[in-house]
Chains A and B, each alone.
Chain A
Amino acid sequence: MTLQPQRQILVVFPHPDDEAFSSAGTIRLYRNMGVPVTYACLTLGEMGRNLGNPPFATRESLPEIRRKELKEACEFMGIDDLRMMGLRDKTVEFEDDEKMVKLVTDLIDELNPSLIITFYPGYAVHPDHEATARAVIEAVRRIKPEDRPTVYACAFANNTVAEIGEPTVLIDVSSVKQDKVKALQAHASQTAWMIQESTKRVDEGRPMSDSWLHYEKFYQYEFED
């Protein structure tokens, strides 16, 4: 499908690399069109498990490594407005729910985005993904229907397609595939296992894997009023 014109895009994910895996190509395409993109990355992925053996990092040195990787990935995606929101990995769901909604509402009020990219609540697997998705959806739900930005939501739980069907937004990112690969490679501390797991998903024929470097798939979130 052709890209819908956008005024401003807000990307909200909890971990450095969530954006590269799910939407680096889409972001790059919009940046190439001159659309401003703000990325609110809630944590620095402090709890990433891959430290290597022999190790290249410690639990304490990983956040700084991932901060640098995130900045580099943003360069490849063309994101010049990166907001690191200072939460801690694996604790997002335990934050006060209203504080989380306000965090998103404040960003929306400031930026007036026409499109928000985030996870799909209920089908986002990781507790931080779910908490992020819940906060974004609730913040947007509170906006008058006619004023709401579009929400593209990423879903990859094993039961996703069975329960909510195929993704409704399919974006061909083949033309910026190299930028997506560079963004993924920028997250070097994570890339090794990501590529390994992606290969595994390809081998198992699971969704969101076989063509993940050529297509990015989202669900346009439908709000029930």
Chain B
Amino acid sequence: MKEVQTNELQKLLNSFANKDVYIHLETTNGAYATHFDEKVFNAGAFIRNAKIRYELAKIIDDTPHRVGLKMEHGWVYAQGITHYELDEHGRLLMAGLDYTGKLAVALEISETPFSY
């Protein structure tokens, strides 16, 4: 993955529009967050291989970036995106890596299901 280049990532997001796609969306502050700091309220969410279709995708040129996908009946968005790549399987992998290199958020889009 490389650091977000807004124009290039916008083009890649556009390339998946109006297609049935599988998404992986994840936010986390780590399973150990409360163990190391009892004041942390540990919350996160995870969805993998949900099939969606979006008509509009937009990346906001702010750092870290926000990415929103508009669907017929709703929305998907992720905030904190810093890195991305189109992997060898043609999947668009986006991630938000914090200052220590730990994943804080991930949004991935693929025309084929992700592994288990």
| A residues with CB within 8 A of B | 47, 49-55, 58-61, 63, 86, 88, 90, 125-128, 157-158, 193, 197, 200
Using A51-B97, A59-B24, A59-B95 as known contacts, list a sample of 14 further A-B pairs with CB atoms less than 8 Å apart, ordered by residue number in A: A49-B30, A53-B100, A55-B83, A58-B1, A59-B106, A59-B108, A60-B93, A61-B87, A86-B116, A88-B116, A90-B46, A128-B31, A158-B38, A193-B102
Which A residues are CB-close (under 8 A) to B32? 125-126, 197
A59 to B106, alpha carbons, bound, how many Å? 8
Across the A-B interface, give the 8 residue pairs with the lowest CB-CB distance, nearest first: A53-B101, A49-B102, A52-B101, A53-B97, A126-B31, A49-B103, A55-B1, A58-B93
Label chain A's interface by main secondary structure. Answer: loop
Residue with the greatest number of chain A CB neighbours at <10 A, chosen from B31, B35, B82: B31
Q: Establish whether residues A55 and B87, one from each chain, have CB atoms under 8 Å apart when the complex forms.
A: no
Residue with the greatest number of chain A CB neighbours at <10 A, chosen from B24, B85, B101: B101
Which B residues are CB-close (under 8 A) to A128? 31
Nearest to A87 among chain B residues (CB) is B116
Residue with the greatest number of chain B CB neighbours at <10 A, chosen from A126, A127, A200: A126
The 8 Å CB contact of A58, one of B82, B95, B100, is B95
A158 to B32, alpha carbons, bound, how many Å? 11
Nearest to A59 among chain B residues (CB) is B106
For residue B28, CB closer than 8 A to chain A, the reply is yes
For residue B55, CB closer than 8 A to chain A, the reply is no
Tell me the total A-B contact number using a CB cutoff of 8 A. Answer: 72
| B residues with CB within 8 A of A | 1-3, 24, 26, 28, 30-32, 35-36, 38, 46, 82-83, 85, 87, 91, 93, 95, 97-104, 106, 108, 114-116
A53 to B100, alpha carbons, bound, how many Å? 7
A158 to B2, alpha carbons, bound, how many Å? 38
Which B residues are CB-close (under 8 A) to A52? 97, 101
Residue with the greatest number of chain B CB neighbours at <10 A, chosen from A53, A61, A158, A197: A53
Quote the shortest CB–CB distance from B96 to chain A (angstroms): 10
Quote the shortest CB–CB distance from A208 to chain B (angstroms): 12
Quote the shortest CB–CB distance from A147 to chain B (angstroms): 35
Which B residues are CB-close (under 8 A) to A158? 35, 38
Nearest to B24 among chain A residues (CB) is A59
